[in-house]
Amino acid sequence: MHRFANPTRFLRIARPATTWLLAIGAVLTAVGVVGALSVIPPDYLQGETVRILHIHVPAAWLGMGGWTGLAVASLMQIVWRHPLAAVAGRAIAPVGAAFTALCLLTGSIWGRPTWGTWWEWDGRLTSMLLLLFLYFGYIALSAAERERGPDGRLAAIFGLVGAVNLPIIHFSVQWWNTLHQGESIELTGTSIAPELLWPLPFTMLGFSALFGAVVLMRMRTELAETKIEARLRRTASE
């Protein structure tokens, strides 16, 4: 992993990877969204609201996956002092927050006709809302640390501590009697009919590719800004 610590080597890989991820993500997402909105039939119980599943599930997955990546970057920053770890954490946080917010929004839209309410202080919903607040906290803390210097560790510690919320989100439907339904898709099978489920892998993979592309773009932008700032400092000191 340390061989990618050199920003120049990282950028050589990140530039083409960004293009490929954007292209693949756009195609897969388009196929999945079109299939979800206009091809699959309505569910016999949920009706047309079942279509939200194909946006809601990938958003929830990436909201949690984003913090997982952020925690890994935080661990690498604290233990191995990887020079790109803090950059990766700062790049991931806003994207993960956006998908977490999308998860909460689509969940509320689904919940209104299904549960009769836009919001309920349910275990899964509350822990997911807490994840969004954790993202906001990390963004603010990492921005403040970056102002002080590049060696800050508080944001990285916060990223690791915040990972405690991830198993709470996952197991909330098992630990508490909640409105939110249990796991519909597991390794052993699914309770969703195949004719309703097929667009989901497209949106899952498509959104994941777009997530990766945006994170790489943000990392490249920050590295470029750092390079420009260093050049300006050198020019000012001459």
* SS3 per-residue string spanning 78-112: HHHCCCCHHHHHHHHHHHHHHHHHHHHHHHHHHHH
Instruction: Tell the burial category of 94 from Cβ atoms under 10 Å away from its Cβ (0-12, 13-18, 19+).
Output: middle
Q: Name the percent of the chain lying above pLDDT 70.
A: 84
The sign one gets for the Cα dihedral 21, 26, 28, 33 is: positive
pTM, 2 dp: 0.90
117 — pLDDT class (breaks 50, 70, 90): confident
23-32, 42-51, 125-134: the lowest-pLDDT one: 42-51
Percent of the chain beyond pLDDT 90?
55
The confidence band for 207, taking pLDDT boundaries of 50, 70 and 90, is: very high
Dump pLDDT digits (tens) for 221-235.
999 887 776 665 666
In order of 146, 220, 228, 229, 235, the CA distances from 232 in angstroms are 17, 18, 6, 5, 5
Scan for tokens 């994941």, then name that residue.
208
- Separation in Å, CA 139 to CA 44, 90, 148, 227: 42, 7, 15, 22
Instruction: Copy the structure tokens of residue 11.
Output: 């950028």
Q: What's the whole-number mean pLDDT along residues 37-58?
A: 84
Residues near 24 by Cβ (< 8 Å), separated by ≥ 6?
205, 206, 209
pLDDT score of 208 more than 80: yes
Q: Which residue has the higher pLDDT, 203 or 238?
A: 203
State the pLDDT at residue 219. 95
Q: What is the DSSP letter of 151?
A: T
Q: Tell me the per-residue pLDDT of 156-190, one tens digit each, with 9 for 90 and over.
A: 999 999 999 999 998 887 777 666 666 666 555 56
Taking residues 207-225, report their average pLDDT: 95
Higher-confidence residue: 92 or 47? Answer: 92
pLDDT score at 42? 80
Is the confidence at residue 194, as pLDDT, over 80?
Answer: no
What is the C-alpha separation between 185 and 24, in angstroms, rounded?
A: 24
